[in-house]
Chains A and B, each alone.
Chain A
Amino acid sequence: EAGVTQSPTHLIKTRGQQVTLRCSPISGHTSVYWYQQALGLGLQFLLWYDEGEERNRGNFPPRFSGRQFPNYSSELNVNALELEDSALYLCATSLRGIHEQYFGPGTRLTVT
């Protein structure tokens, strides 16, 4: 069974640009979570989607947004990129409800 996939693997953007990251869940998983892991820091919760709706978001500005599609895949959009947005962005998926999460390999975003 295929795991959680994320694309692209790496991305280099310039400050002020916009970026879209993508995540495909494990078959049967309806919940998608996005996290930011900056170098040397822990995981910061960004967004949680379930059944197409945003369940909750972390303490990030509105320029971080996303959506979940009918096939439960998800996109994370970051507008007006800033240097401090450079990080590993992790997607995780789970069954609906409070279950363990399965993580993708991440997208490494570098903002110059």
Chain B
Amino acid sequence: AQSVAQPEDQVNVAEGNPLTVKCTYSVSGNPYLFWYVQYPNRGLQFLLKYITGDNLVKGSYGFEAEFNKSQTSFHLKKPSALVSDSALYFCAIYSSASKIIFGSGTRLSIRP
């Protein structure tokens, strides 16, 4: 079965520290992976995507993600967290059955 998992419901990081939001997936064929962010009282926004090519993908707001085929992971990272990064983050995949599957979401909280 094709799926995406975000194992942490919440991640707490101090401002200025690096952050990682984890995502693992199970999909047949080539994976197409995405990260989206949902800020409080605002809509979902696209952050970055991996379709093919370089395993390290750079996106909006200084975020990046690394595609790791052997570990079937696509973790979201940022070298230095900002309080304004506090939001709900979703990992998503396109499956070979032409379905879009979103993870359950991880709430990122950055403390000053």
Chain A residues, CB < 8 A from B97: 56
**Is there contact, CB below 8 Å, between A58 and B99?**
yes
* In contact, A100 and B90 (Cβ under 8 angstroms): no
Stretch from B42-50, B63-71, B76-84 contacting the other chain: B42-50
Contact pattern, A 82-106, Cβ under 8 Å of B = 1, otherwise 0: 0000000010100000101111111
Interface residues of B in 9-45 (CB under 8 A from A): 32, 34, 36, 43-45
Contact B43 A56 (CB under 8 A): no
**Chain B 49-92 interface mask (CB, 8 Å, partner A; 1/0):** 10100000000000000000000000000000000000000100
Inter-chain contact B90/A56, CB cutoff 8 Å: no
What total of chain A residues lie within 8 Å of the partner, measured CB to CB?
A: 21
Q: For A41, list chain B residues within 8 Å (CB).
A: 104
Contacting pair A100 B105 (CB below 8 A)? no
Interface residues of B (CB under 8 A from A): 32, 34, 36, 43-46, 49, 51, 90, 94, 97-105
Q: What residues of chain A have their CB less than 8 Å away from a CB belonging to chain B?
A: 33, 35, 41-45, 48, 55-56, 58, 90, 92, 98, 100-106
A–B pairs, 11, beta carbons within 8 Å: A35-B102, A48-B99, A98-B32, A98-B94, A100-B46, A100-B49, A101-B36, A101-B46, A102-B46, A103-B36, A106-B43
